Chains A and B, each alone.
Chain A
Amino acid sequence: MASSSDSPMDGAPVIDFDRFVPTRSAIAARKRKDLLMRVLVAAAFVIALVPLVSVLWTTIASGVRRLNLNFLSYNMSGVIGGRPTPSGGYGGILHAVIGTLEITLGAVAISVPIGIMCAVYLVEYAHGGPLSRIIAILVDVMSGIPSIVAGLFAFSMFSIVFGPGTINGISGSVALSLLMLPTVVKSSEEMLKIVPDDLREASLALGVTKQRTITKIVLRTSLPGIVSGVILAIARVIGETAPLLMTAGYIATTNFNLFSGQMTTLPVYVYQEYSKLSVTCPASAGADCITSIPMQRSWAAALTLIILVLILNLVGRLVARVFAVKTER
């Protein structure tokens, strides 16, 4: 709109508003900039995607060859060099899958109750007091702990309490729970914070106690978000190798007991097999002997780990959807 009035409103500054109308060249420049930024953003997306696709592709291509039912249902006992075992396979990862599931589950059982209760304290009780600020800082510091340090902590704790050199699955769980805890606290805290105060007030005004308000309204409303946060935390620790080498050890046989004896997990298995590089096949071994079998097992185990995380993600999404806040009209 052009300023055509000769008698502006009282006290209004006299400004030539025609100056602000965009010129044709300005519009063209804006369109060029728009195109440039679109290209840049798209390029950034593609660059971020390249390693992801590459990793997935390599793992699938190299891992799918050994990944079969036999590989999943046997452990590494009785595997000699590159020769096939009596079952017809070349050893397997049953013990590592069991170990990964049990140790991760143990870590979840330790870190989720502590993490959620910590978040409930921070959001519902602390009200930004000094203690809550200290906890918040400590949680931030904790999320920066290198995983090997968490492993050292768990190892030395179990050595002190249960005698030197104690190695079992649960100490691995403790190490992993240390790494999970900050993620669980942070994500749960954020989820509890976005529950509207209206709901808390509505519940309290009905004569509901604070405890029931928290468990039945606040936690219930934020459950889908908390589940996603826990899944993220699991995905972060399920691939940990270093702390588990130290705490859970490595064996070739299947150990179901989380509380006694060494346990193998998938990442440790991948690392151990990769370290072997290859095996020698003596002339007597026959044509079935494969020199590169450790590498193939390593890739197949890595693929299994990725699939495991994927399944976990899907289960988490399903749970989140079942408990989601119903908004559809």
Chain B
Amino acid sequence: MGQRIDVNHLNIYYSDFLAVEDVNIAIQPNKVTAFIGPSGCGKSTVLRTLDRMHEIIPGAHVKGEVLLEGRDLYAKGVDPVAVRRDIGMVFQRANPFPTMSIRENVLAGIRLNNRRIAKSDADDLVEWALRGANLWNEVKDRLDNPGIGLSGGQQQRLCIARAVAVHPQVLLMDEPCSALDPISTLAVEDLINELKHDYTIVIVTHNMQQAARIADYTGFFNLKAVGQPGHLEYFADTTTMFNNPQNEEAERYISGRFG
């Protein structure tokens, strides 16, 4: 089952530079929440703070709290490695491990942590994850082929399978379709619709039609000017966001008048 995330007064910094200012957002469990907004407004940055991937950049840090089912992910003593096991992530560019086969890629989250898994369990897990990512029928006969031999869309679905294979509660997606053709995009969108039964999904997208198609809630991020921190301008359920937004900037952005 998915879990809910509450973000309270989150300020995100790169060294001294305040990149995103005072984000407050409630991400509902088992729903798809989309982040939209112009380039540089910090939507990806916010996404990366949700699984503590932000801090792998030297000097990057945050102030405020991110609560996963009430637990503060930034509390003292919380291990970022453990957080990342609960919250999976899919990146903009498909990044299967080039030294591994399709099968090994799916099992990477388990094998890399040196956990032992019986071969039959591993087989079941690989099939389950690949079926979950709508990839099983395309690759079941060549599981031992290299993962980077697949097409771009297949690689991205392989990355999704790899992320779900460690049983996260939340799945973060950073523009997962921006490098894909429309058919692969459709496949991934269908997949997101199915995945929300089991996971809470947060997706960053530049494609507003995509947000309108798949998201239950949409957050619009904006920034006052270049060099100024970004902020969450408006957050609403997707129908309101795209049909009757109660925010002037969001309305202007959605109707294509800027950004």
On whether the two chains bind one another, the answer is yes
Chain A neighbourhood of B97, CB < 8 A: 199, 202-203, 217, 221
Question: Given that A198-B93, A206-B108, A220-B99 are contacting pairs, would A329 and B149 also be in contact in the complex, using a CB cutoff of 8 Å?
Answer: yes
Nearest-Cβ distance from residue B167 to partner chain A, whole angstroms: 11
What's the Cα separation between A325 and B148 when bound, in Å? 10
What's the Cα separation between A244 and B98 when bound, in Å? 42
What's the Cα separation between A110 and B31 when bound, in Å? 56
Residue of B with least CB distance to A202 = B95
What's the Cα separation between A200 and B97 when bound, in Å? 10
In chain A, residues 175-227, which have Cβ atoms closer than 8 Å to a Cβ of chain B?
A: 196, 198-209, 212-213, 216-217, 220-221
Nearest-Cβ distance from residue B114 to partner chain A, whole angstroms: 7
Q: Which of B109, B146, B149 contacts A207 (CB 8 A)?
A: B109
Question: Given that A212-B113, A212-B114, A326-B149 are contacting pairs, would A206 and B88 also be in contact in the complex, using a CB cutoff of 8 Å?
Answer: yes
What's the Cα separation between A213 and B108 when bound, in Å? 11
What's the Cα separation between A266 and B243 when bound, in Å? 83
For A, the interface residue count at a CB cutoff of 8 angstroms equals 26
What's the Cα separation between A199 and B95 when bound, in Å? 6
Q: Is residue A10 contacting chain B, with contact meaning CB distance below 8 A?
A: no
What's the Cα separation between A204 and B99 when bound, in Å? 17
* CB <8 Å contact, B88 and A216: no
Q: Main secondary structure on chain B at its contact with chain A?
A: mixed
What's the Cα separation between A201 and B174 when bound, in Å? 12
What's the Cα separation between A213 and B95 when bound, in Å? 14
Q: Is residue B208 contacting chain A, with contact meaning CB distance below 8 A?
A: no
Interface string of B126-155 (1 = CB under 8 A from A): 000000000000000000001011000000
Q: Is residue B53 contacting chain A, with contact meaning CB distance below 8 A?
A: yes
Q: Is residue A127 contacting chain B, with contact meaning CB distance below 8 A?
A: yes
Chain A neighbourhood of B99, CB < 8 A: 217, 220-221, 323, 325-326
Residue of B with least CB distance to A323 = B99
Interface string of B104-130 (1 = CB under 8 A from A): 000011001110000000000000000
Q: Which of B56, B101, B163 contacts A204 (CB 8 A)?
A: B56
* CB <8 Å contact, B149 and A208: no
What's the Cα separation between A220 and B81 when bound, in Å? 21
Q: Is residue A18 contacting chain B, with contact meaning CB distance below 8 A?
A: no
Chain A neighbourhood of B108, CB < 8 A: 203, 206, 208
Nearest-Cβ distance from residue B71 to partner chain A, whole angstroms: 16
What's the Cα separation between A202 and B165 when bound, in Å? 13
Chain A neighbourhood of B83, CB < 8 A: 207
In chain A, residues 126-157, which have Cβ atoms closer than 8 Å to a Cβ of chain B?
A: 127
B residues at A contact (CB < 8 Å): 51, 53, 56, 58, 81-86, 88-89, 91, 93, 95-99, 101, 108-109, 112-114, 146, 148-149, 159, 162-163, 166
